[in-house]
């Protein structure tokens, strides 16, 4: 029998092709980031929690939100008079009250996002007989994340307001009564507020905040036009308060908000602020309709100088209007 020679070339070719196929499968398996021997689920990525509140305000209190970087948020706040004035009250200086609708308290202002974690604000207000300007800085120290490693958002608020009201007094001179300006030093016209805002978005529908606050007032007395004098309000110049607020989503564009701000070291002649609001989003606008016993429109006033009570119908209707404008291209901050 004649032996057939072995065809080494065919075997070598087959072995080489098999080796290349095996290596190709291994490389593809290594490149596939989803490949797992036990098919284990990948760890969720930590993302920052957004939209705990619709705006930077709950009702009066600052929320845990900031204006986006490069965006200017124009704000107009308005409060009517207390409804307990009735249709006509001739014992009041405004005479015809019409359940508060003849009285207007207003503030114009705006907020600007400096960067992702910093916002500044400025405003001008007219509250009854007092006029002034306010400014504040709001900084986010920690942002809540979806993996719950950062379960809260923590922000700091520093605010100051200056009352440039001209207070007058009447003295009896030789020629009769004379009205003179009542000189109030600038340092007594200043009020300062420091606040820590702790907020959490529990789920898509519910968010809350806690806001430990300190308010220092330049004056702890109050001007009364009827007696043309300053009288003690029974309050300390430095007061401590704890703001509490929440938002409950009603629909994609509406939510119910509520807040309560008890003073912890004595109110004097003033009361704790309590407010209920309804947020309505319409495109680039957010309308906030509210009922509150506070007439003041900045922290030093609505926290420490609320003069009406819900129990005596000292509640007033009000609203906040928010409109945002892009000043700097958002890609500049990316």
Reported as a pLDDT band with limits 50, 70 and 90, residue 184 is confident
pLDDT of residue 30: 45
Q: Which DSSP state fits 52?
A: S
pTM surpassing 0.85? no
- ∠ Cα 205 116 261 (to 5°): 50
Over the Cα atoms of the chain, what is R_g? 31
Mean pLDDT of 56-80: 94
Size of the chain in residues:
334
Q: Beta 229-232 vs 221-224: how paired, if at all?
A: antiparallel
Q: Beta 176-181 vs 153-163: how paired, if at all?
A: unpaired
The larger pLDDT score, comparing residue 323 to residue 130, is at 323
Q: Is the pLDDT of residue 153 over 90?
A: yes
Greatest mean pLDDT range, 36-40, 133-137, 306-310, 321-325: 133-137
The larger pLDDT score, comparing residue 219 to residue 9, is at 219
Map out the domains of the chain as residue ranges: 71-326
How would DSSP label each residue in 73-125?
EEEEEEE---GGG-S--TTSTT---TTTTT--EEEEEEEEEEETTEEEEEEEE
The larger pLDDT score, comparing residue 243 to residue 329, is at 243
Element spanning 215, H or E: strand 206-217
pLDDT of residue 33: 43
Mean pLDDT of 146-150: 92
Mean pLDDT of 191-210: 97
In the numeric block, the tokens 């070719």 are attached to: 13
Q: Is the pLDDT of residue 19 over 60?
A: no
Greatest mean pLDDT range, 22-31, 93-102, 297-306: 297-306
Reported as a pLDDT band with limits 50, 70 and 90, residue 27 is very low
Secondary-structure class of domain 71-326 per CATH: mainly beta
pLDDT of residue 31: 46
First to last CA, the chain: 83
The larger pLDDT score, comparing residue 54 to residue 100, is at 54
The larger pLDDT score, comparing residue 100 to residue 73, is at 73
Q: What's the whole-number average pLDDT of the chain?
A: 82
How many CB atoms lie under 10 A from the CB of residue 44?
8
Q: What are phi and psi of 152, to 5 degrees?
A: -130, 160
CB contact at 8 A, 54 and 282: no
Reported as a pLDDT band with limits 50, 70 and 90, residue 36 is very low
């Amino acid at each position: 029998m004649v032996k057939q020679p072995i065809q080494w070339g065919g075997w070598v070719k087959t072995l080489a092709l098999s080796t290349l196929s095996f290596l190709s499968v291994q490389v593809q398996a290594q490149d596939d980031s989803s490949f797992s021997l036990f098919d284990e689920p990948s760890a969720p990525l930590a993302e920052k929690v957004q939209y705990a509140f619709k705006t930077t305000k709950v009702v009066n209190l600052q929320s845990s939100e900031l204006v986006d970087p490069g965006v200017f948020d124009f704000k107009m706040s308005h409060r009517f008079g207390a409804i307990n004035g009735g249709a006509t009250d001739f014992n009041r200086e405004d005479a015809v009250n019409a359940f508060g609708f003849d009285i207007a308290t207003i503030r114009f202002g705006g907020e600007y996002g400096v960067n992702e974690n910093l916002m500044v604000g400025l405003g001008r207000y007219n509250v009854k007989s007092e006029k002034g300007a306010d400014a504040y800085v709001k900084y986010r120290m920690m942002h809540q994340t979806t993996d719950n490693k950062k379960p809260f958002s923590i922000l700091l608020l520093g605010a100051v307001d200056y009352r440039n009201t001209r207070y007058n007094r009447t003295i009896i001179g030789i020629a009769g009564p004379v009205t003179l300006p009542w000189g109030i030093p600038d340092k007594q016209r200043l009020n300062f507020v420091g606040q820590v805002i702790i907020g959490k978005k529990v789920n898509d529908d519910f968010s809350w905040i806690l806001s430990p606050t300190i308010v220092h007032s330049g004056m702890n007395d109050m001007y009364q036009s009827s007696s043309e004098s300053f009288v003690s309000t029974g309050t300390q110049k430095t007061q401590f308060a704890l703001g509490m607020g929440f938002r409950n989503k009603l629909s994609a564009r509406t939510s119910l908000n509520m807040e309560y701000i008890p003073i912890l070291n004595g109110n004097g002649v003033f009361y704790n602020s309590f407010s209920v609001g309804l947020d309505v989003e319409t495109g680039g606008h957010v309308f906030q309709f509210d009922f509150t016993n506070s007439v003041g429109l900045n922290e030093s006033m609505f926290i420490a100088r609320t003069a009406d009570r819900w129990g005596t119908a000292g509640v007033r209707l009000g609203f906040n209007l928010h409109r945002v404008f892009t000043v700097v291209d958002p890609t500049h901050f990316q």
